[in-house]
């Protein structure tokens, strides 16, 4: 295996050359002495091959193989049987490299792949072959037409501004470039909560603007999706009803879809949030979700479009005192009985956990249980409950844990396999992430939050990558650091999820955050509210009893093996204990600690770890560009304040409830 040393002084120079927006992992050019030439295999130009021609000089300023005066990269036809339509193989040639693929988009991915291999340590060596592990690899934007982003922490929307289309196509192109470089092939461009202005996106002038966005994305192999409002036939079409079984409603959607495809022939399809948190849906008309989704699917199917239908459906007006009702049960209760009843261009989109993107949740029981329905796993890249891109929280370890989780349905069916293999049409399955970018100059507000966007794409393309390897790749491409410093920075990332969990909600209990904003501590903030997320702490103990024996029976939604594991207190994993059981503070965990001592210890430790991050960050100061250094220095101050306030409130709260002191005698306010 040969290793190349690539000079990377060009890093900051390219930032200036291409504008601040390009300041990201793609800023690093592969460079050496000789000018590169490159060949595409045939003369046929497509939007994607034009992109490749435009990108080559940005990525590979100059390139040379040692001993060879000229360097080249050849793009050659590849074997579709082995590589599929998106995969690629990179090999070395006398004069440089060859990228083989069966399609232009595969060349595009191959080009980014080569760039990555040459700017990081290519442990794999050449030839290097890569084929994506999932078909749909998508970013969902919760962007509103007024420019705001629901749960966005990096400025306003790239797409919209004050109820107009921002129209900055160069910005969108740069964004598409970022996404394509990590293999993303789908973008949902508006919020799943579809307000009145966006309800009109499916008609009129908006479509021409959406077409422009879609064209830019398509040149990077990315398909465009729209969120639609289930009540659009009423709001836009002036019909009296949106009942999916009313022929005139179906006809309205058919005509609407036809107009969309006339304007945007390669339009991908709709995403629908129905009967959820105030959004309209089929339940209004006494219809079920298969009836709603299939009606839309018939219309979209005429043009090859899909309907991505979200399973985030639950009653958000619960009575806090009603212990029978359990929000965690909702998605499975509603959708499992419908397995096999959806048309083959419907895809159910399922959040990773049964509640809502908490720092720790069990895996949704729908994975593995749905066997005859196309499915997409939904993650949240934007840090809604995980620190608002103020606190560092690298989410790849959590995503990996979910994907590698063995559902124990059958022999060894992991979530990543279930998504693909239980979907009747494999090409209509995959993984989506709610995006974390906005108008902030570094895209993600927090510099280190870029690693989540990068990591999402890399992991969803290649499930075998470790969270550590992805973190290191991102660090190497984003900074010029020695090996030792690179390791220190990557270690901040890879430990940050555990640290965030340590100073926030303990043992899987969830939702002790401030209502509505979802940042900062408010232990009882949701306790007497309607959202169905309760911890039930009292003087004796804490946690939600979801067992069959004495609780809500949520545990029964899992496969037999997982059911027994979670149902039984003695086998339930510590980190999920309070999600499944209500236990006394003196209950002894597998770790050997009592619950109360675990709460105290993790909260004291969490704060200390943030202090350590601050020290490491200072030690990197001279090796970092000033912008990034200051960006995270400021955030680490906020993170420490946040961690201290969580620590003190959580510790005091549980001390007051339990009356049990910290066995190490540390400061707990009374
Ligand atoms: O997590 C919740 C968020 C809502 C979001 C919803 C969803 C878009 O707090 O802001 O709405 O999930 O996923 O639909």
CATH architecture of 503-544+582-658: Alpha-Beta Complex (3.90)
Residue among 50, 248, 262, 277 flagged as catalytic: 277
The encoded tokens of residue 383 equal 């840090």
Q: How far is CA 323 from CA 154, 534, 550, 557, in A?
A: 38, 10, 11, 18
pLDDT of residue 67: 55
For the chain, where do the domains classified as CATH 3.30.160.230 start and end? Answer: 10-130
Whether residue 12 is predicted with pLDDT greater than 50 in this model: the reply is no
Cα of 142 from ligand 1 centre, angstroms? 9
* pLDDT 10s digits, 326-342: 999 999 999 999 999 99
Does residue 573 carry a pLDDT above 80?
Answer: yes
Going by C-alpha positions, the residue among 165, 296, 151, 159 that lies closest to residue 229 is 296
pLDDT band at 66 (very low <50, low <70, confident <90, very high): low
Looking from the CA of residue 142, the nearest atom of ligand 1 is 8
Report the nearest atom of ligand 1 relative to the CA of 385. 1
Indicate if the pLDDT at residue 26 is higher than 50.
yes
ipTM for this prediction: 0.99
Q: What is the 3-state secondary structure (H, E, C) of 187-237?
A: EECCCCCCCHHHHHHHCCCHHHHHHHHHHHHHCCCCEEEEECCCCHHHHCC
Q: How far is CA 589 from the centre of its chain?
A: 31
Residues 6+ apart with CB under 8 A from 287: 243, 244, 245
Atom of ligand 1 nearest to the CA of 151: 10
269 CA to centre of ligand 1 in angstroms: 21
CATH 3.90.1330.10, the chain: domain bounds: 503-544+582-658
pLDDT digits (tens, 9 = 90+) for 263-301: 999 999 999 999 999 999 999 999 999 999 999 999 999
- For the segment 603-624, the average pLDDT, to the nearest whole number, is 97
Helix or strand (DSSP H, E) at 320: none
Q: How far is it, in rounded angstroms, from Cα 400 to Cα 89?
A: 25
How many angstroms does the Cα of residue 637 sit away from the middle of ligand 1? Answer: 28
What's the CATH fold of domain 136-397+428-455? TIM Barrel (3.20.20)
Percent of the chain with pLDDT over 90: 87
Mean pLDDT, range 363-376, rounded to an integer: 98
Secondary structure in 3-state letters for 110-164 = HHHHHHHHHHCCCCCCCCEEECCCCCEEEEECCECCCCCECCCCCCCCCCEECCE
Confidence of residue 36 (pLDDT cuts 50, 70, 90): low
Residues whose CB is less than 8 angstroms from the CB of residue 568 and which lie 6 or more positions away in sequence, other chains included? none
Nearest of 290, 308, 369 to residue 336 by alpha carbon:
369
Query: Is 277 assigned a catalytic role?
Result: yes
Summarize the confidence of residues 372-397 as an average pLDDT: 98
**Which tens digit of pLDDT belongs to each residue from 169-225?**
999 999 999 999 999 999 999 999 999 999 999 998 899 999 999 999 999 999 999
Summarize pLDDT for 41-59 with one digit per residue, the tens. Answer: 666 789 999 999 889 888 8
Nearest residue (CA) to ligand 1, atom 13: 312
Task: State the distance from the centre of ligand 1 to the C-alpha of 118, rounded, in angstroms.
Answer: 39
**Residue ranges, CATH 3.20.20.80, the chain:** 136-397+428-455
The protein residue with its alpha carbon nearest to ligand 1, atom 1, reads 356
Q: What is the pLDDT of residues 529-554, one digit of tens each?
A: 999 999 999 999 999 999 999 999 99
Q: What residue owns the CA closest to ligand 1's atom 11?
A: 193
Where residue 74 falls among pLDDT bands split at 50, 70, 90? confident
Distance (angstroms) between ligand 1 centre and the Cα of 24 equals 28
Q: Is 308 helix (H, G, I), strand (E, B) or coil?
A: strand
pLDDT computed for residue 45 by the predictor: 85
> How far apart, in whole angstroms, are the C-alpha atoms of residue 70 and residue 109?
24
Residue 17 confidence (pLDDT): 38
Residue 3 has pLDDT above 50, yes or no: no
At residue 92, the 3 state secondary structure works out as strand
Q: Which of 148, 193, 194 maximizes ligand 1 atoms within 8 Å of its Cβ, making it the mutation to test the pocket?
A: 193
What residues line ligand 1, using a CB cutoff of 6 Å? 142, 150-151, 191-193, 273, 312, 356-357, 384
Kindly give the number of the ligand 1 atom that is closest to the alpha carbon of 193: 8
pLDDT at 448 over 80: yes
pLDDT score, position 73 = 86
Closest residue (by CA) to atom 2 of ligand 1? 356
Q: Catalytic: 356?
A: yes
Whether residue 612 lies in the annotated active site? no
Q: What CATH number should be reported for the domain whose range is 10-130?
A: 3.30.160.230
Residue 6 DSSP code: -
What pLDDT is recorded for position 33? 41
Nearest to 139 by CA among 380, 399, 434: 434
Least confident of 9-23, 354-368, 379-393: 9-23
User: What whole-number distance in Å separates Cα of residue 356 and Cα of residue 364?
Assistant: 10
**Ligand 1 nearest atom to the CA of residue 356, by list position:** 1
């Amino acid at each position: 295996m040969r290793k190349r040393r690539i000079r990377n002084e060009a890093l900051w120079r390219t930032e200036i050359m291409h504008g601040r927006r390009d300041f990201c992992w793609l800023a690093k050019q592969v460079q050496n002495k000789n000018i590169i030439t490159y060949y595409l295999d045939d003369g046929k130009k497509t939007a994607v091959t034009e992109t490749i021609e435009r990108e080559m000089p940005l990525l590979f300023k100059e390139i040379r193989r040692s001993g060879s005066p000229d360097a080249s990269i050849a793009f050659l036809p590849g074997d579709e049987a082995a590589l599929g339509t998106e995969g690629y193989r990179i090999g070395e040639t006398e004069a440089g490299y060859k990228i083989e693929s069966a399609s232009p988009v595969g060349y595009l991915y191959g080009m980014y792949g080569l760039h990555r291999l040459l700017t990081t340590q290519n442990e794999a060596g050449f030839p290097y072959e890569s084929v994506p592990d999932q078909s749909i690899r998508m970013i969902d934007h919760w962007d509103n037409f007024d420019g705001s982003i629901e749960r966005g922490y990096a400025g306003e929307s790239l797409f919209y501004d004050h109820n107009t289309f921002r129209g900055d196509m160069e910005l969108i192109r740069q964004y598409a470039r970022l996404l394509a470089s990590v293999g993303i092939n789908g973008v949902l461009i508006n919020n799943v909560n579809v307000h009145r202005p966006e309800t009109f996106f499916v008609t009129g002038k908006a479509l021409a603007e959406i077409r422009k966005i879609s064209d830019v994305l398509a040149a990077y192999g990315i398909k465009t999706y729209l969120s639609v409002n289930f009540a659009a036939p009423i709001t836009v079409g002036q019909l009296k009803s949106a009942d999916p079984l009313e022929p005139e409603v179906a006809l309205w959607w058919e005509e609407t879809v036809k107009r969309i495809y006339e304007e945007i022939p390669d339009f991908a399809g709709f995403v629908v949030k129905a009967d959820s948190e105030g959004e309209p849906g089929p339940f209004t008309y006494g219809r079920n979700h298969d009836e709603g989704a299939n009606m839309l699917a018939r219309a979209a199917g005429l043009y090859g479009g899909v309907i991505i239908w979200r399973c985030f459906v639950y009653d958000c007006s619960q009575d806090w005192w009603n212990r029978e009702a359990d929000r965690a049960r909702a998605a499975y209760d509603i959708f499992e009985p419908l397995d096999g009843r959806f048309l083959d261009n419907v895809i159910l989109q399922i959040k990773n956990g049964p509640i809502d993107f908490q720092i720790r949740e069990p895996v949704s029981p729908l994975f593995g249980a749905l066997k005859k329905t196309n499915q997409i796993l939904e993650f949240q890249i934007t840090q809604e409950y995980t620190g608002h891109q103020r606190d560092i929280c690298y989410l790849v370890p959590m995503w990996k844990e979910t994907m590698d989780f063995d559902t124990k349905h059958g022999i060894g069916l992991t979530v990543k396999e279930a998504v693909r293999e239980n979907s009747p049409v494999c090409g209509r399955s995959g993984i989506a992430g709610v995006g974390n970018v906005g108008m902030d100059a570094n895209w993600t507000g927090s510099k280190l939050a870029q690693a989540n966007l990068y990591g999402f794409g890399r992991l969803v393309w290649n499930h075998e990558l470790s969270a550590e390897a992805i973190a290191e790749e991102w660090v190497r491409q984003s900074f010029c650091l020695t090996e030792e410093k690179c390791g220190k920075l990557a270690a901040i990332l890879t430990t940050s999820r555990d640290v965030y969990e340590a100073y926030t909600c303990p043992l899987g209990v969830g939702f002790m955050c401030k209502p509505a904003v979802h940042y900062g501590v408010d232990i009882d903030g949701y306790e007497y509210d309607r959202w169905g997320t309760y911890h039930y702490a009292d003087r004796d103990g804490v946690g939600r009893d979801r067992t069959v024996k004495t609780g809500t029976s949520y545990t029964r939604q899992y496969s037999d093996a997982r059911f027994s594991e979670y149902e039984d207190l003695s086998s339930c994993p510590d980190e999920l204990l309070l999600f499944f059981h209500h236990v006394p503070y003196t209950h002894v965990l597998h770790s050997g600690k009592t619950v109360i001592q675990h709460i105290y210890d993790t909260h004291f430790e969490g704060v200390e770890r943030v202090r350590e991050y601050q020290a490491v960050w200072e030690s990197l100061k001279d090796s970092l560009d000033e912008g990034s250094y200051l960006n995270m220095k400021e955030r680490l101050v906020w993170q420490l304040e946040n961690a201290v306030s969580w620590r003190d409130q959580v510790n005091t709260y549980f001390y007051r409830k339990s009356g049990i002191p910290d066995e190490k005698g540390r400061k707990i306010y009374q």
